[in-house]
Amino acid sequence: MPLVNSNVILADARRRRYGIPSLLAGDLQMIVGGVQAAETLRSPLILAFNSGATPGVPLPIGIALAADAAAKASVPVGVILDHGADIEQIVAAVCNGASSVMFDGSHLPFEENVRQTCEIVRIAHAAGVDVEAELGAIGGSSIYLTAEGPQAHMTDPEQAAEFVARTGVDVLAISFGNAHGVYHTKPKLDLARAREIAGRVEIPLAMHGASGLEDAVYAEVIAGGVSKICYYTAMGRQISAALRDFTAQADPDTLNYHQIIAVATDEFCRRAKDLITLLGGAGKAEDVKRMA
């Protein structure tokens, strides 16, 4: 089916209180495994390309590959540029087939974040592409796992409402105690803050740094009004361990790279199915199709 904008997928999730995984789409194994999982469980899905996580994959190739796979899927799949740094990246993602873009201006002063986000919304909307922005700073790093990352700054609910109203963004990434990468201590999520933000804005909310939590926490986050669950680090580490086990047990005289590709694809599919089930997205594809 045609590529689907993230906000269309997320609108149903927000209304019916289930979560949509946003899975890293850094290579073919990630993409094919994720789409196969979504098709098997009849679930919507968002594929996210992040240049920082996979710098060896050129953005035009990575986005185009994910967009082609999404367009051929039998369930609604969106493709988003994750944590776009500037207008040049945003334009490149739009030109190469992204159905959604995320501009991360969270490091900017509020007024400058508003100004740059407004310009990106103008450009993207003219091309039929929806926009996610970030307000408040999310700490940690999904790339450098031993680092604490930048200092987090929680999203102010009143400021969030103003930001959405002034910029016209379609999805808002918020900071409420979540962190990218590995949680070095037990996370203290401010779910009351998330609920207040959800009550002040009408657009879907996104949680970056969502992997590695206890299973029961995801239901609480979704009940608090968060619809997009960005998930990679825990999955990536699990699959890395599975690949280490596979190569350690394989016959070195017959082991070849295509076997590793097959195992990686199967592992991404299996882990993605577990996550889709956990977040409640299984069986929701047909409802989103009707809205798309």
Q: Region 120-127: what's the mean pLDDT?
A: 98
The residues spanned by each domain of the chain are: 6-286
- Please determine, for residue 144, whether its predicted confidence score (pLDDT) is greater than 80: no
The three-point CA angle 15-20-26 to 5° equals: 155
Q: Provide the pLDDT for residue 180.
A: 61
Mean pLDDT of 5-34: 97
Least confident of 97-106, 141-150, 187-196: 141-150
**Residues 60, 252: Cα–Cα separation, whole Å:** 36
* 8 Å CB contact between 47 and 80: yes
* Nearest-angstrom CA–CA distance, 225 and 222: 5
Catalytic-labelled residue, pool 12, 27, 82, 156: 82
Q: What is the mean pLDDT of the chain?
A: 92
The reported pLDDT for the residue numbered 100 is 98
Would you state the pLDDT for residue 98?
A: 98
Kindly indicate the confidence band of residue 271, based on its pLDDT and cuts at 50, 70 and 90. very high
Give the burial string for 164-187 (b: 16+ CB within 10 Å, else e): beebebbbbbbbbbbbbbbbeeeb
Query: Residue 14: CB partners within 8 Å, gap ≥ 6?
Result: 204, 205, 225, 227
The pLDDT assigned to 115 comes to 97
pLDDT tens-digit map of 145-190: 444 444 468 899 999 999 999 999 999 999 998 876 555 567 789 9
Q: Which CATH superfamily is domain 6-286 in?
A: Aldolase class I (3.20.20.70)
The reply to whether 82 belongs to the active site is yes
Task: Output the pTM of the full model.
Answer: 0.93
Q: CB–CB of 50/141 below 8 Å?
A: no
